[in-house]
């Protein structure tokens, strides 16, 4: 657990202690087998639901845990340190429930969020398309009015949880002439005719947190629309600000595990009659890793603090801090895990130890929720505005 947790409420610290023990005992032991088999993390999500993690991002009014954004950062990092696949599916669920929380009216929130918080309904966030990843304004999926509902037609890709979700938040163009102001969002429930999952993508890492292609040719009632027409882009951007902090937390959690593994290996691995840890070259590697990690933690917690301030009405937009945290943490975690594998030497390259899995799991962190290059664009845009 990070030193930053001293700022948390007593109940939040207790929750994180319970979560840490639970993840060590129930989630981490399954991580290697999950990676090896590629089985979706149904059991892990069900177990996390039992201790309140499926609704950790939601307020108590909608069945959630009601914890602060800094506490949520630490909770996500804790799960990530135990299993990257599990945390990827969990945070994808958060993107969906955040979409409903931010964009929907109370009637739709009441229909979706309590079940999602309890783990009875898994969510997916369907924004990305084959030709619209970094810029949602290039979206081709269309939603057109038919009677008292909407016909949604198009294709989505790289949708985490997409083929197993009980509900999806689908973003679609309702007014092609309005650019990003013509995007709306809709809840599509499992079993809706015309919702067709494609194949599960065979990914390099996070192999138990599946992503799907989705073909859409379906009808939804107008009651499933999130907020006014044209508000979808604004909702998606607010959700992604949250999600980028959660990606930073995921990167921090896996980086903590990598650093701890490297430190323990360096202290116990005897080469030439002495532990690796006695060699200055190894000591400097560990020092750089620890410094990178500390900086990533600080930036992540600052972004989470700003997120909480907006929620409390004492602060404003936190998109720049979220992008900075996501950019730095994802890049730093990649360096940390790579250095940890190097310290393990040839053993780190085998599946007998967790480092090669951590390296693979971390690689996507520099791509999704907006690549590192997109984060630099966002940061520069805010800086120069």
Domains in the chain with CATH codes: 5-118 (1.10.540.10), 123-230 (2.40.110.10), 233-384 (1.20.140.10)
What is the structure's pLDDT at 4?
Answer: 53
| Structure token pair of residue 339 | 């250095």
Query: Which residue ranges in the chain fall short of pLDDT 70?
Result: 1-6
Q: DSSP secondary-structure letter at 23?
A: I
Angle between helices 69-82 and 10-22 (to 10 degrees): 10
Looking at residue 3, its pLDDT comes to: 53
Give which of 117, 205, 119, 129 is closest to 162, Cα–Cα. Answer: 129
CA–chain centroid gap for 66, Å, is 18
Condensed to tens digits (0 to 9), the pLDDT of residues 272-328 reads 999 999 999 999 999 999 999 999 999 999 999 999 999 999 999 999 999 999 999
pLDDT recorded at residue 1: 56
| Residue 230 tokens, joined | 């044209």
pLDDT value, residue 98: 98
pLDDT, position 131: 86
**Alpha-carbon Rg for the chain in angstroms:** 21
Taking the C-alpha atoms of residue 128 and residue 159, their distance in angstroms, rounded to an integer, is 7
- Give the closest residue to 331 by CA, choosing from 300, 291, 362: 362
Please tell me whether residue 267 adopts helix, strand or coil conformation: helix
pLDDT in tens, 339-381: 999 999 999 999 999 999 999 999 999 999 999 999 999 999 9
For residue 191, the model assigns a pLDDT of: 96
Q: Is 331 tagged catalytic? A: no
Of the residues 229, 356, 369, 373, only one is catalytic, namely 369
């Amino acid at each position: 657990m990070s030193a930053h947790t001293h700022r948390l409420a007593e109940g939040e610290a207790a929750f994180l202690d319970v979560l840490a023990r639970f993840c060590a005992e129930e989630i981490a032991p399954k991580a290697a087998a999950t990676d090896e088999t590629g089985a979706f993390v149904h059991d892990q999500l069900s177990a996390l639901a039992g201790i309140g993690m499926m609704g950790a991002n939601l307020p108590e009014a909608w069945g959630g845990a009601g914890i602060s954004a800094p506490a949520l950062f630490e909770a996500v990092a804790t799960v990530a340190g135990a299993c990257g696949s599990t945390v990827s599916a969990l945070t994808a669920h958060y993107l969906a429930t955040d979409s409903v929380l931010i964009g929907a009216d109370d009637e739709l929130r009441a229909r979706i969020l309590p079940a999602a918080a309890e783990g009875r309904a898994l969510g997916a966030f369907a924004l990305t398309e084959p030709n619209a990843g970094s810029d949602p304004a290039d979206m081709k999926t269309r939603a057109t009015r038919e009677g008292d509902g909407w016909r949604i037609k198009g294709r989505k890709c790289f949708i985490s949880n997409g083929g197993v979700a009980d509900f999806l938040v689908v973003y679609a163009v309702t007014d092609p002439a309005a650019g990003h102001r013509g995007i709306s969002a809709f809840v599509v429930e499992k079993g809706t005719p015309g919702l067709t999952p494609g194949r599960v993508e065979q990914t390099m890492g996070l192999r138990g947190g599946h992503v799907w292609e989705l073909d859409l040719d379906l009808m939804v009632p107008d009651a499933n629309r999130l907020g006014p027409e044209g508000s979808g882009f604004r909702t998606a951007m607010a959700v992604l600000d949250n999600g980028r902090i959660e990606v930073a937390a995921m990167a921090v959690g896996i980086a903590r595990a990598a650093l701890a593994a490297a430190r323990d290996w360096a202290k116990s691995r005897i080469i030439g009659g002495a532990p690796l840890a006695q060699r200055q070259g190894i000591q400097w590697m560990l020092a750089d890793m620890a410094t990178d990690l500390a900086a990533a933690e600080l930036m992540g917690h600052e972004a989470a603090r700003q997120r909480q301030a907006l929620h409390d009405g004492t602060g404003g937009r936190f998109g720049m801090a979220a992008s900075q945290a996501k950019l730095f943490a994802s890049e730093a975690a990649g360096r940390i895990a790579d250095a940890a594998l190097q310290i393990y030497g040839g053993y780190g390259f085998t599946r007998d130890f967790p480092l090669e899995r951590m390296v693979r799991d971390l690689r996507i962190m520099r791509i999704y929720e907006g690549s590192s290059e997109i984060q630099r664009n966002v940061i520069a845009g805010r800086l120069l505005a």
